[in-house]
Amino acid sequence: MKYYVIAGEASGDLHASNLIKEIKKLDANAQFRAWGGDLMAAQGATIVKHIRELAFMGFKEVIANLPTIFKNIRFCKEDILQWKPDAVIFVDYPGFNLRICQWAKENGFKTIYYISPQLWAWKENRVEKIKKYVDEMLVILPFEEEFYLKHNYKVDYVGHPLLDVVEDYQPSDIEGVDESKTLIALLPGSRKQEISRVLPEMIKAAELFSTDKYQFIIAGAPSIHKEDYETIIAGSNIKVVYGKTYSLLKQADAALVTSGTATLETALFGVPEVVCYKGGGTSYWLAKRLIKVKYISLVNLIMDRPIVKELIQSECNPANMAAELKKLIENKDYRAEMIGHLNELKTKLGGKGASGRAAKIVVNFVNA
């Protein structure tokens, strides 16, 4: 079978790559043409658009890049028509994917959505579009199945694929780690815009700690060029490591993490964390009025209570980051309590095997 897969961000590249790997176990001759990144390419997908060209963040940034987005939509439709896949698999990335999904369904292609758009957070009315144009919806968060049932739409809850990724991960050595020091991981995001806003604050927070006792290391995102980091960290003694985020988390004592999938990855490694978010002024103002969630981190959303500290906008400053980090490292009771909550989170997300369960549903549906 021929599968056309569209992922537009680093987390989508990760989960789509594992889905591809599992589909190949069930269909050895499967072919994949995709929008994605290096991980999907490593599983044998032919990448026609790389994620580094696709990650636009915030309302202003999207508007500024509208010509590119419309050009990408046209190219995607033409490419699908030319390749004639047996199914199109959409991985998160809703702004783009829902448009293509509607078009694909109207043009007779089977449509599968893996990792639901966060309709429970905003634009809940999009559920009608999903009911009409998505043939098979696979969800990864425990409360999403209930959300869709409320709208009379049956979905398949497969569990969270990060559980597999984290549990199966074999760490590699990171050059330059000083084991005599407390290691703090800095995860400033995977998009250029968020890194440019949050990383400078993280660097200033790091400067409030003694270099004799603490070491700070940045997890470099594969979609970001080395020069972009070097411009921000110039003059500091903080290093960037690439392709070693999980190895860094495996060794870290605590972390500063930009909101997104990374907050959940950090939690699943059992690392106490501080969640940091700083958006553009206009984007944040609009988001605050449109998005209806109590928390910005997946960790707190899944647990439905604030188990990790969230520093948002003006609160996302070096003094607050440093204060919370010190509390996580020096206050033993506070640290132990958070680690206990993170273990509870793992239990709530279910067991391993999400990618395999998703692949089985995909293959059965396409062959039906």
pLDDT in tens, 176-193: 899 999 999 999 998 888
What integer pLDDT is reported at residue 294 of this predicted model?
A: 83
pLDDT(267) > 60: yes
pLDDT(331) > 70: yes
303: left (phi over 0), alpha (psi -120 to 50) or beta: alpha
Is there a contact between 205 and 318 (Cβ–Cβ < 8 Å)?
yes
**367: Cβ contacts below 8 Å, ≥ 6 apart:** 1
Stretch 294-300: mean pLDDT: 90
| Alpha carbons 150 and 132: distance in angstroms, whole number | 16
Largest interatomic CA distance in the chain = 63
Stretch 209-231: mean pLDDT: 91
Length, in residues, of the chain: 368
**284: Cβ contacts below 8 Å, ≥ 6 apart:** 313
**227: Cβ contacts below 8 Å, ≥ 6 apart:** none
What integer pLDDT is reported at residue 62 of this predicted model?
A: 65
Burial environment of residue 358 by CB neighbours within 10 A (0 to 12, 13 to 18, 19 or more): buried
Give per-residue pLDDT as tens, 96-106: 999 999 999 99
Give per-residue pLDDT as tens, 149-179: 999 999 999 999 999 889 889 888 898 899 9
Stretch 270-274: mean pLDDT: 98
What integer pLDDT is reported at residue 214 of this predicted model?
A: 96
**What is the CB neighbour count within 10 angstroms for residue 120?**
18
What integer pLDDT is reported at residue 60 of this predicted model?
A: 59
pLDDT(212) > 70: yes
Burial environment of residue 364 by CB neighbours within 10 A (0 to 12, 13 to 18, 19 or more): exposed
pLDDT tier for residue 365 given thresholds of 50, 70 and 90: very high
pLDDT(30) > 90: yes
| Alpha carbons 350 and 271: distance in angstroms, whole number | 19
| Alpha carbons 3 and 165: distance in angstroms, whole number | 22
pLDDT(292) > 80: no
- Percent of the chain at pLDDT > 90 equals 71
What integer pLDDT is reported at residue 285 of this predicted model?
A: 56
255: which strand partners? 185, 273
What integer pLDDT is reported at residue 291 of this predicted model?
A: 61
pLDDT(363) > 80: yes
pLDDT tier for residue 57 given thresholds of 50, 70 and 90: low
pLDDT tier for residue 348 given thresholds of 50, 70 and 90: confident
DSSP-H helix ranges across the chain: 10-26, 38-42, 59-64, 66-83, 94-106, 127-133, 144-150, 162-168, 192-206, 226-233, 245-251, 261-268, 281-290, 298-303, 318-330, 332-348, 354-367
| Alpha carbons 22 and 360: distance in angstroms, whole number | 8
pLDDT tier for residue 55 given thresholds of 50, 70 and 90: low
Average pLDDT score over the chain: 91
pLDDT(286) > 60: no
Give per-residue pLDDT as tens, 124-146: 889 999 999 999 999 999 889 99
3-state secondary structure of 170: coil
pLDDT(282) > 80: no
Q: What Å distances lie between residue 273 and 3, 52, 196, CA to CA? A: 38, 27, 20
pLDDT tier for residue 69 given thresholds of 50, 70 and 90: confident
Q: What Å distances lie between residue 165 and 17, 52, 108, 171, 260, CA to CA? A: 11, 22, 34, 12, 17
| Pairing verdict, β 254-258 and 273-277 | parallel
| Alpha carbons 258 and 199: distance in angstroms, whole number | 9
Q: Terminal CA-to-CA distance of the chain, rounded, Å?
A: 12
pLDDT tier for residue 118 given thresholds of 50, 70 and 90: confident
C-alpha 294: how far from its chain's center? 19
| Alpha carbons 366 and 368: distance in angstroms, whole number | 6
pLDDT(89) > 90: yes
**Both structure tokens of 262:** 């990374």
**Both structure tokens of 272:** 């106490």
Place of tokens 């106490």: 272
What integer pLDDT is reported at residue 27 of this predicted model?
A: 96
What integer pLDDT is reported at residue 10 of this predicted model?
A: 84
pLDDT(350) > 80: no
What integer pLDDT is reported at residue 280 of this predicted model?
A: 67
Which comes out higher in pLDDT, residue 44 or 67?
44
